[in-house]
Amino acid sequence: MLSDPIAALATPPGRSAVAVVRLSGVGALEVAARVVDGFAALCPRVATLVAFREADGELIDRGLVTLFPAPHSYTGDDLVEFSCHGGLLAPARLLAANADPIEVGGVAVAAPRDTTGAGDAFAAGFLVAWMAGAAPTAATVAGHRLAAAVLHRPGATIGAPG
User: Any idea what the Cα angle at residue 115 is, between residues 51 and 40, rounded to 5°?
Assistant: 30
- Prediction pTM value: 0.61
User: Taking the domains of the chain in order of start, what are their residue ranges?
Assistant: 6-108, 114-162
Pick from 28-32, 74-78, 96-100: least confident: 96-100
What pLDDT was estimated at residue 56? 83
Q: Please write the tens of the pLDDT for every residue from 21-40.
A: 888 888 888 888 888 989 98
Q: Which CATH number fits domain 6-108: 3.30.70.100, 3.90.105.20, 3.30.1360.120, 3.30.450.40?
A: 3.30.1360.120
